[in-house]
Structure 1
Amino acid sequence: MGEISITKLLVIGALIVLLFGTKKLRTLGGDLGAAIKGFKKAMNDDEASAKSTTANDTTAERLSHKD
């Protein structure tokens, strides 16, 4: 088996380009990038909503303990 050299990677890359074409690979790359951006946005939105929910719960606890 051995190591994966740069020439082997270049040959594999050339075969992938020949099989799929540059337009299909460009579209695939754009779709993958959009999916990653959407995932990051959803994670940030989830963290922000969790923080606001925690802040609201803490405020409610403080108000209920004043009695």
Structure 2
Amino acid sequence: MFGISPMQLLIILAIVVLLFGTKKLRGIGGDLGGALKGFKKAMSEEDKDADFKKTDEKVEDKSSEAAENKIKETKSEQKESN
């Protein structure tokens, strides 16, 4: 019902180029590309941070288990020596 034909798109594109000029459109395109690149970089860094936090939690769990085991061993050695 409200579809845009290719001819209408070309007319709109020509009007936009006439209004803004090619230099301004090129600058807008560059700015938009830079923004998308920064967004992707931020998202990938967030994923890396999330993975690091998960790994860090696993290391803490293992170290606490090792500490508990060491405490149990020490207590059993003390009981044996008494």
Please give the range of the TM-score, normalised by the shorter of the 2 chains. Answer: over 0.9
Which has more helix, going by share of residues? 2
Q: Which has the larger radius of gyration?
A: 2
Following superposition, the deviation at residue 49 of structure 1 comes to: 1.1
2:33 maps to amino acid: G
1:27 maps to amino acid: G
1:52 is aligned to: 52
Percent identity reads 48
Matched residues in 2 for 1:57 and 1:30: separation? 41
Report the number of matched residues. Answer: 67
2:63 maps to amino acid: L
Normalising by structure 2, we get a TM-score of 0.76
Unaligned runs of 5+ in 1: none
1:5-64 superposed Cα distances (whole Å, 9 cap, x missing partner): 000000000000000000000000000000000000010011101101110111101221
Normalising by structure 1, we get a TM-score of 0.92
Query: Which of structure 1's runs of 4+ aligned residues deviate more than 3 A?
Result: none
Unaligned runs of 5+ in 2: 69-82
2:6 maps to amino acid: I
Matched residues in 2 for 1:2 and 1:30: separation? 31
